[in-house]
Structure 1
Amino acid sequence: MIEFMKKLAWDAGEICLKESAQLSADDLDFKGLRDLVTVVDAKVEDFVIAAIQEKFPDHDIIGEETGITDHGSDHRWIIDPIDGTTSYFHGQPFYSVSIAFQHKKITQAGVVYAPALGQLFTAVRGEGAWLNGATRLSVSPATEMINAVLATGFACLRAGREPNNIHYLTKVLPHIRDIRRCGSAAIDLAYVAAGKLEGFWEMDLNIYDIAAGVLLVEEAGGIVTDMSGGNEYPVRGIVAANKKIACDLLDLLERPKLQQ
């Protein structure tokens, strides 16, 4: 299964790279004032879904652009064809193809591919997480927030959330080394898994933004919770880090700590 997923993500990434050279404002549409979508998003998702349906015609599929295909199966695919469309449209490299495979709603395999960065992150439940098939991933060992570089995003602004993440950013930022903002939650989670970031939090994401990335973090030794320390993510927000940083981050977010 993971080999099929890797090839699928790689081929989808090649479409992104090829199409980016000729992308124009005419190829752009809006789901909201700040929420961009391009013709390439739809093209990539159609490609991925067609490949899955050819191989597994009875499987359910959730796609960002096409919604839910429900056959009543125990097997489900969750696809974000371009996570970070704004970065993609503006010629920045921080976008990814995210594909997760679930059995009875438990993610069993996940792939996050950042084609412009040449980074293919993969995970299989119980078998670890890997970068480009060669480097096994492990979350950062940092134990102090002042040594942490965290990532976040602002999907909440598109959703009109109050209080929004700017409120939480002002609480967190004075206590950490720095913040990063690339615009792809899937990459942020992959970077937490790889120890390139110490942690990540965000509000108002969807299942297709995080399904593959969550498995990467878990298989790299990290934990994922909602912003109350529970497991209702992404509905109640999401926090991903090693256990110590997650506890401290939840504390700064004025949420209950995890049991240490």
Structure 2
Amino acid sequence: MSSTRPSALIADDEPLLRSSLTRMLTQVWPELEIVAEARNGREAVEQYQKFKPTVCFLDVHMPGMTGIEAARQIGRGVHLVFVTAYSEYAVEAFTQGALDYLVKPVDPARLADTVARVRERIGTSQEAPDIDSLLDKLEARMQKKAAAEPLRWIKAMVGQSLRMIPVASIDFLRSDEKYTLIAWRGDDGKAAEALIRSSLKELLDQLDASDFIQIHRSVVVNINMVSHVIRGENETATVFMKGREDKLPVSRSYLHHFKQM
């Protein structure tokens, strides 16, 4: 690796999002070398210590260690760009302009602006800023969001009608690229589905954790609507919903929800 070539680390727990960001960076910053990827904050710290990249793109929300916690451990001397599903975090935490952010889904034009700013800092040998106070603001904003009242309704277009779907009537949610499939029961008790343009992670953070649990990176279920669970091979399982034929996968990372099996 050339010492003069800028390098980057991309940390996000969603493989498709890592691939998408890599592809867009290749287009807007051809000389940038992606030296490492990470699935969570702990891996991000490990990969940073190994490769010492010029810039780190860190997802704010990652399992285990968050992007903010990873940034604290990575420390100074690297240019940080946070990736978040919540623009309000960015408005409050980054108004000083010392750090940069991208809102999911990442817009190519916004990415180009971010890259231009980072390249300017690198080109002028400007040191990465003291980030502690900004991270404090971002973390406080996240905690405030987490303490907010759980989501009660979800808006969705069904045909030509705007429906207000009661969260309590939802069976499960499943990610579908840029969209999330909402599976719920209508007023007549029949199964219904709709696609909304929100990430699964964004919705999960707003749902009541006592009712909704993640069982797979792409699936969240309403535990009250679960009929039964069948244990599979290699520490996996399948969830069956009441009154539905859907078979929902439980990955190894989330099998602890059913540890009594």
Report the TM-score when normalising by structure 2: 0.30
Report the TM-score when normalising by structure 1: 0.30
Report the structure number with the largest CA radius of gyration: 2
Q: Which has the higher strand share?
A: 2
Higher relative contact order (CA 8 A, sep 6+): 1
